């Protein structure tokens, strides 16, 4: 291979590398009302606009009476209810991790293909991990988190923040009992047992996790839930997207 040909190939490889590195983690695809963005390392919030790219570490806030849709590079669609904040933590073609400190989000992964793709949405108390489903996560001002599954299934576990709190609250093990695993115990009822392990919920189920780590799991009526304006809007948009 001559020198000129080698240089040409090197330029092509460099161009591909630059384009790949420049690919945004996500992009804002719709804004109704107003939204603000705080770029990683920036000191002040700025107005967000449709088609604006999002990078790792960016924070996005959907303001009162507003609605925002973003699409990640892997294809996942996330829509934000009013007074909702998210933070992009990780985003590749195969995996996404996003924080939801406050407010409500709708997540649709139904169009994804490939078992290797995964998505995690984290609140101060819980992590929702999915591979191809539709769910809603709502985080209250007191950090109580509710996850409602509308299609597929979602694994919900304690967040890192909650894990640290639960570990700190545990009494030390008596001498000679370190590492022992207790046998199964009957759950006395909702909000009395801490969420220390992953729990799988399916369509029509809801799990709610309080700030102290205790949780409740129950059924909800998806038809009634569909009358909520945020849920109804998302279901309509999902239906349009599926028809395209």
pLDDT 10s digits, 117-160: 789 999 999 999 987 789 999 999 999 999 999 999 999 999 99
Distance CA 126, CA 41 (A): 26
- Measured in degrees and rounded to the nearest 5, phi and psi for residue 166 equal -65, -40
Predicted pLDDT of residue 180: 44
Q: Judge contact between 149 and 204, C-beta under 8 A.
A: yes
- Which tens digits make up the pLDDT trace of 191-213? 678 898 899 999 999 999 999 99
Q: CB burial class (10 A; 0-12, 13-18, 19+) of residue 129?
A: middle
Q: State residue 182's pLDDT score.
A: 40
DSSP H helical ranges for the chain: 3-22, 160-169, 222-225, 229-243
Is beta strand 95-108 parallel, antiparallel or unpaired with respect to 134-139?
A: antiparallel
pLDDT for res 45: 97
Average pLDDT, the chain: 84
Q: Which of the residues in the chain have pLDDT under 50?
A: 6-7, 9-21, 177-188
Backbone φ, ψ for residue 170 (5° rounding): -75, 135
All structural domains of the chain with their residue ranges: 24-167+195-243
DSSP 30-76: EEES-EEEE-TT-SS-EE--TT-EE-TT-EEEE-TT-EEEEEETTS-
Domain spanning 24-167+195-243, CATH class: mainly beta
């Amino acid at each position: 291979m001559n020198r000129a040909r080698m240089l040409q190939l090197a330029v092509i490889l460099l161009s591909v590398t630059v384009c790949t590195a420049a690919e945004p983690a996500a992009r804002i695809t719709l804004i109704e009302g107003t939204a603000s963005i705080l770029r990683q390392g920036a000191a002040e919030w700025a107005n967000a606009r449709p088609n604006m790219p999002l990078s790792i570490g960016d924070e996005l806030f959907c303001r009162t009476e507003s609605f925002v849709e973003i699409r990640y590079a892997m294809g996942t669609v996330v829509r934000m209810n009013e007074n909702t904040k998210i933070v992009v933590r990780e985003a590749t073609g195969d995996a996404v991790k996003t924080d939801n400190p406050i407010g409500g989000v709708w997540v649709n992964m139904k169009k994804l293909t490939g078992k290797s793709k995964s998505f995690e949405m984290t609140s101060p108390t819980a992590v929702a991990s999915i591979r191809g489903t539709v769910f809603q996560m709502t985080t209250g001002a007191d950090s109580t988190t509710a996850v409602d599954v509308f299609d597929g299934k979602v694994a919900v576990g304690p967040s890192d923040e909650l894990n640290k709190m639960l570990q700190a609250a545990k009494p030390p093990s008596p001498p000679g009992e370190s590492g022992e695993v207790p046998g199964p115990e009957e759950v006395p009822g909702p909000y009395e047992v801490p969420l220390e392990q992953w729990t799988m919920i399916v369509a029509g189920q809801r799990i709610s996790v309080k700030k102290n780590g205790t949780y409740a799991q129950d059924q909800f009526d998806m038809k009634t839930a569909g009358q909520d304006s945020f849920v109804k809007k998302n279901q309509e948009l999902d239906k349009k997207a599926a028809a395209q």
